Structure 1
Amino acid sequence: MDPSLLGTKYDKIAKWWHDQHVDSSYGVRQFERAIAFSNSGVKALDVGCGAGGRFIRILQHKGYTVTGLDVSKEMVKLASANHPEHKFVEQDICTWETEEKFDFIFAWDSIFHLPLAMQKPVITKLCKLLAKGGILIYTFGNAEGEHTDQWRNDIFYYSSIGINENIQILINNGLSILHLELDQYPEKHVYTIATKL
């Protein structure tokens, strides 16, 4: 799916998304597992930040400053309003460039919207943006391929390169796997935590 099209789809549901997730506990257990592996970091990157909320509050409590990326301008507006002390930008992770390194990077339920051909390059990019000793947590589907689903009266695209290929990319980029779990089994939802050696 073209990122600008994805952004407009999320623009339409941004307020609903915010109201559903701002105080949600969804993913918090998994996120706190990842935080427990981290040393006292400084900079965090949130890929597909949405409207902000629970994850950013956890990071803030741990002393991190957050840079958030999202292709939805409405999500970025909400995140900026919710967390004015952090930086949020309307950007596509596929094309976004920075010289910064981050101590903690997370992409919760976001990069599975990327075109299948962009999965490997983007995961590789996240590995390169991670500082030595940093923590990466992200979600993906355990079945290889691409599909669309109807959700919130719209069609959304999803893709995945599967568990083995994700793990191989992390290892090839100097990361060590700390945790991997199908956390919503029998749904095909996987999250992994890795650190840069």
Structure 2
Amino acid sequence: MHPSARNIVDLYQRHAQAWDQRRQAQVQTPTFDGEKIWLQRFLQQMAPGRQVLDLGCGAGQPVAGYLIEQGCELTGVDSSSALLGLCRQRFPAQRWLQADMRELVLEDDFAGILAWNSFFHLPADDQRAMFATFERHAGPGCALMFTSGPEAGEAIGEFQGEALYHASLAPLEYCTLLDTHGFEVVQQVSQDPQCGGLTVWLARAIY
């Protein structure tokens, strides 16, 4: 495992303002138009009820903000207190929790679970373990959407001059994990050109 895998939380904590500015700058771009297409698909698949668990919510914009505009009730989870501070300023009526998604145990069931551009920062074994967390927090018919890499392996990006860790399992393993934990794949696109090259998984709980 690349050493940068251990520095994700610290990197986002130290560069929270820069990350927020970067995401704000994307709101009026074709990339976010592509993200909204996927968010609309997610909303269409959600079970009755508007409770969404946003894992790795960042600063709350633009993704959480868009979901709130559509009437969702957000529980946002992030390890960075700096990013969560921005969420609380913007959307004080929503619930924001500082926690590691890998250790999350809530008493709530959700109509939708989102891990957008966050889940793929976890090492492979941690990703495998997350599917039990998805299952634990999914209500009947829950929509689940996350981003991954297009194939198994590690990829090291860069943010603010520092290494930014990403990892992925193989597509077949994601399919197997979803099936094992009670989800069926609704739609999956690798390196979606309409969405900045993101690889996106949309699934739905079958229980």
TM-score (norm 1): 0.90
1:183 Cα shift?
A: 4.1
Partner SS for 2:185: strand
Task: Check conservation: 2:76, 2:95, Cα contact below 8 A.
Answer: yes
More helix per residue? 2
Aligned to 1:80: 88
User: Does residue 43 of the first structure (1) align with residue 45 of the second (2)?
Assistant: no
| RMSD of aligned alpha carbons | 1.9
User: Does residue 55 of the first structure (1) align with residue 63 of the second (2)?
Assistant: yes
Aligned to 2:19: 17
Q: Which of 1 and 2 has higher RCO (CA within 8 Å, sep 6+)?
A: 2
Runs of 5+ unmatched residues, structure 2: none
| Deviations, residues 90-136 of structure 1 (Å, cap 9, x unaligned) | 21111121121111110111011112211111123113311111111
Q: 1:132 to 1:40 in 2, by over 3 A?
A: closer
Task: Check conservation: 1:51, 1:78, Cα contact below 8 A.
Answer: yes
Task: Check conservation: 2:104, 2:133, Cα contact below 8 A.
Answer: no
| Deviations, residues 61-108 of structure 1 (Å, cap 9, x unaligned) | 333211111111111111111111111122111112112111111011
Aligned to 2:10: 8
Partner SS for 1:182: strand
User: Does residue 98 of the first structure (1) align with residue 106 of the second (2)?
Assistant: yes
User: Does residue 125 of the first structure (1) align with residue 133 of the second (2)?
Assistant: yes
Aligned pairs (5 A) from 1:100-179: 100-179=108-187
Task: Give distance in 2, aligned partners of 1:72 and 1:162.
Answer: 28
The residue type paired with residue 20 of structure 1 is R
The residue type paired with residue 203 of structure 2 is A
Task: Give distance in 1, aligned partners of 2:180 and 2:149.
Answer: 20
The residue type paired with residue 64 of structure 1 is C
Runs of 5+ unmatched residues, structure 1: none
Q: Mean alpha-carbon deviation: is it higher for 26-35 or for 104-113?
A: 26-35
Q: 1:66 to 1:190 in 2, by over 3 A?
A: same
1:147 Cα shift?
A: 3.5
Aligned sequence identity (%): 23
User: Does residue 196 of the first structure (1) align with residue 190 of the second (2)?
Assistant: no
Q: Mean alpha-carbon deviation: is it higher for 22-31 or for 40-49?
A: 22-31
1:39 Cα shift?
A: 4.2
Task: Give distance in 1, aligned partners of 2:121 and 2:161.
Answer: 17
Task: Check conservation: 2:53, 2:75, Cα contact below 8 A.
Answer: yes
Q: 1:183 to 1:115 in 2, by over 3 A?
A: closer
Q: 1:84 to 1:57 in 2, by over 3 A?
A: same
Partner SS for 1:94: helix
Task: Check conservation: 2:131, 2:181, Cα contact below 8 A.
Answer: no
Equivalent residue pairs, number: 194
TM-score (norm 2): 0.86
